[in-house]
Structure 1
Amino acid sequence: MTRPVVGIIANQYQIDNRYPTHAGGTINSSAMADVAGCLPLIIPADPRYVSVAELMDVCDGFLLTGGRPNVHPEEYGEEPTEAHGAFDRARDAITLPLVRACLERGQPFLGICRGFQEVNVAMGGTLHPEIRDLPGRDNHRMPPEGTMDEQFALRHKVRFTPGGVFHRLMGAEEVMTNTLHGQGIVRPGHGVVIDGWAHDDTPEALYLDGARGFTLAVQWHPEYNATNDPVSRPLFTAFGDAVRAWAAGQVAPVLRSA
């Protein structure tokens, strides 16, 4: 049986500081193939090469990946500063309208880290460049040193809305996650429901209210050890089910609060 196709949004990199490339982490492909049961397809997120309409015709669902470049603050009405870090305007030009188009069409997507932030910005929300600078907030950035296992280690709890989408999906009101991000949501966008928070009240999980399809996004990185992690596995399994439903000409049942 042919697997449904998930477009994995790639990021721009330079090999040896001179050869430009679009790339996606193998842990994203592994999560899609091994847990979601879908065919991973790396997408060069640049309007010079692809259009949103073409992508939606080729792919059954989308994985909005994490990445070092941040959403440009002009996309949410603010001026860029040094604190905002590096940007990828080409990716912005694809992913932000893609989120809105998927919402309108009912096509499934899953957002991770930057992807979580893209969903919020696409819906008119705002971000803070360094949430660790906000009163009462912790440093959620990736540890600068250590092995991959150490950098992606589970570092804090995320609590979900009792009876909410993520509570029912995970079977628990509280889970442990990793954390590797500097920016965070300040004002949720239109229809953005924050459904999970870190211990310092940083938004960590969301979905879009009234959506006809799968629109979940998380601030942590569930793709790491997705096969074995009890939090990652149900998230990717549910996403894979939604993508298969779409590929079969159905709109998967929407995950809603009880």
Structure 2
Amino acid sequence: MYGERARYWIWDHEAALLPRSYVDVVIASGGAPVLLPPVPAAAGAVDALDGLILTGGPDIGPVHYGADPHPETGAVRPERDAAELAVVRRALPRGLPVLGVCRGAQLLNVSLGGTLTQHLPDVLGHHRHNPAPGVFGPTAVRLSPGSRAAALLGERALVHCHHHQAIDRLGEGLVASGRAEDGTIEAVELAGHRFAVGVQWHPEQDVTDVRLVTALVDHATARRREAER
């Protein structure tokens, strides 16, 4: 979940929240959503989960990958950073199926020692990955033959993007399995893991296409059944 100040009904206060679209795609994929608050103690709940989605959100603190903040890097959420890094570092060694979405893909990379490009327009010369606040830009992605992402989506996909940062140096064991036409890494997979996939786009924005989330749920179900034998 996000940790943000939010206004609703008569209230205006700090809240733990999540866009409803994440809940909807998990349900549409046959899963039962469990929401983890953005506090480090949430890592203790990992052992009770069957799968994990690392959601989108604000920029990750550059301190976590040894960089100074770029002028365009947004306000960071230290508590959420610490919580999610603790969660993913507990989940991966246990073989928990993981899907990282946008920030979640970046967090997966950072957790494994990778780095980020803090402001893509400096490198690319355009804003097509993040056209405007609250707007998702259509992005054509080429997926590597033989990758998990290509097996699910085909070797070409048109996806919903809203990001001004992206993966730079890959973390240990991660393989780039999808790129935009401008070369930006749009999908990664962890070699040797049953299902650890990160996508720079937002699959939760299209509840009519739940192939990625369904794959996560299927792997989570299989892992649960193996444990019960």
Give the TM-score taking structure 2 as reference length.
0.91
For residue 202 of structure 2, the aligned residue among 195, 202, 221 is 221
Unaligned runs of 5+ in 2: none
Higher share in helix: 2
2:49 partner letter: C
* Matched length: 225
Question: Please, what is the CA RMSD of the aligned residues?
Answer: 1.9
Match of residue 3 from structure 2:
12
Match of residue 73 from structure 1:
62
Match of residue 63 from structure 1:
53
Equivalent pair of 1:136/1:200 in contact (CA under 8 Å): no
Equivalent pair of 2:130/2:162 in contact (CA under 8 Å): yes
Equivalent pair of 1:60/1:108 in contact (CA under 8 Å): yes
Residue 79 of structure 1: CA displacement? 1.7
Residue 250 of structure 1: CA displacement? 4.5
1:166-199 residue CA offsets vs partner (Å, 9 max, x unmatched): 21222x2111011101111111111111100001
1:113 partner letter: C
1:115-172 residue CA offsets vs partner (Å, 9 max, x unmatched): 0100000000001111111046653115237xxxxx346x1210011222221222x2
Match of residue 5 from structure 1:
none
For residue 106 of structure 2, the aligned residue among 117, 120, 141 is 117
1:65-90 residue CA offsets vs partner (Å, 9 max, x unmatched): 001x2110000011223321111111
Give the TM-score taking structure 1 as reference length.
0.81
Does the alignment pair 1:23 with 2:17? Answer: yes
For residue 173 of structure 2, the aligned residue among 165, 172, 191 is 191
Equivalent pair of 1:193/1:209 in contact (CA under 8 Å): yes
Percent identity, aligned pairs only, is: 35
Question: Larger deviation: 159-168 or 214-223?
Answer: 159-168
Match of residue 181 from structure 1:
163
Q: In structure 2, how many angstroms separate the alpha carbons of the residues matched to 1:64 and 1:74?
A: 19
Residue 58 of structure 1: CA displacement? 2.4
Q: In structure 1, how many angstroms separate the alpha carbons of the residues matched to 2:27 and 2:124?
A: 41
1:158 partner letter: V
